[in-house]
Amino acid sequence: MQDNNPEIETQLDATPNDLTMSAICPKCGYSMDKVLSDAARERKPQPGDMALCSKCAAILAFTDDLGLRCANAQELDDLNFDVTIIAAQMEIRAEAS
């Protein structure tokens, strides 16, 4: 019982239900920690989920380890410039200016 996957147990200890992430916008370097931990209370992000940088409004995607990378062309195409996203981007840019 004791010797099955101690590594996983350690990881679970280190990350309790409260999501602790260290996600930095690859475009502007803004730390999204606060934004993401707020969002994670409602819905935990999954790898491949999309996010918006709350500073430069870049469209980002979560990597497998829940870091952030810029969305690729395919993902941007899939979003098809969703009105909700455009509205959110406009809001972020308005706040930043």
Among the listed ranges 12-20, 27-35, 70-78, 79-87, the one in contact with Zn ion (CB under 5 A) is 27-35
45: Cβ–Cβ under 8 A, 6 or more apart, which residues? 36, 39, 51, 62, 66
Among the listed ranges 11-19, 35-43, 56-64, 76-84, the one in contact with Zn ion (CB under 5 A) is 56-64
Q: Does 28 bind Zn ion (CB under 5 A)?
A: yes
Plot region of 88 (φ>0 → left; ψ -120 to 50 → alpha; else → beta): alpha
Q: Which of 55, 62, 66, 71 binds Zn ion (CB under 5 A)?
A: 55
Among the listed ranges 8-16, 21-29, 64-72, 84-92, the one in contact with Zn ion (CB under 5 A) is 21-29
CB of 59 to Zn ion, least distance (A): 10
Residue of 83, 91, 31 lying closest to 57 (CA atoms): 91
Query: Is the separation of the CB atoms in 33 and 21 below 8 Å?
Result: yes
Q: Which residues bind Zn ion (CB under 5 A)?
A: 25, 27-28, 30, 53, 55-56, 58
